[in-house]
Amino acid sequence: MIQERRSGGPRQDTAAEVFAETGAEASASVPRVGEGLALPSGPSPVTDVERAFVGALLHCSAARAERVLSVVADEDLGDPAARGVLEVVRRLVGRGVAPDPAAVVAEARSAGLVAGEYRLSRFGSFVATVYTSSALPASLGFYAACVLEGAVRRRLVQVGQRLVQAAETSPFEALHRHVRAEVEGWRVLRDRYVAFTAAARERSVSVREGAA
């Protein structure tokens, strides 16, 4: 479905990798796992809204979740833990199963995405945290738009970094190809955000006109 994110940009951790540490390994690599799972005292707005987005999805029917997931890709989330849960949610929704917390944890265990009691416990705790947060299911579309906006911004940063690298290391005659490919990949993602927000505005206008 959204090839430009999968073909470019840094590799993203899967759910299995994010929640894969044993107890001893977790204590030895707290910066990576802890930042993905803990609820920090001052999380960034982007991370907050990504977790709100996932939490709202856990309250949705399969049909409603499917409509939003057709636009938002797993790779659009920068938070590894939220992205891991979204990966499992997508598997359930693809089979027409509502992604409630019990179903998400059961699917993660059944599919071997998060194996072992310790790892499954960490995964389940994170699912419970986002499910019982203050995220509102009615705001799912707004959260989705914020997630996409964050993805557009992060992708632009990545484009800039890769173009700097290309300017320093690539043959001169290849520079225009690098620039065109990077900008086109960013434009596809930006256009997806624009299309989603435009459709949301149209639905909002239709609802208001119908209520008038």
Q: Residue holding tokens 């759910």?
A: 15
Q: pLDDT band at 115, cuts 50/70/90?
A: confident
Q: Which of 39, 52, 43 is nearest to 137 (CA)?
A: 52
Please determine, for residue 3, whether its predicted confidence score (pLDDT) is greater than 80. Answer: no
Contact of 89 with 166, CB cutoff 8 Å: no
Please determine, for residue 111, whether its predicted confidence score (pLDDT) is greater than 80. Answer: yes
Q: What is the model's pLDDT at position 91?
A: 97
Structure token digits, residue 77 = 């989330």
Find out if CATH 1.10.3470 is the number for domain 3-139.
Answer: no
Task: For residue range 14-50, list pLDDT tens digits in order.
Answer: 555 555 443 333 333 323 333 333 333 344 444 589 9
Q: What is the model's pLDDT at position 210?
A: 59
Structure token digits, residue 90 = 């997508």
Percent of the chain with pLDDT over 70: 73
Q: What is the model's pLDDT at position 134?
A: 83
- What rounded mean pLDDT belongs to the chain? 80
Between 193 and 211, name the one with better pLDDT.
193
Task: For residue range 153-197, list pLDDT tens digits in order.
Answer: 999 999 999 999 999 999 999 999 999 999 999 999 999 999 999
Q: What is the model's pLDDT at position 204?
A: 60
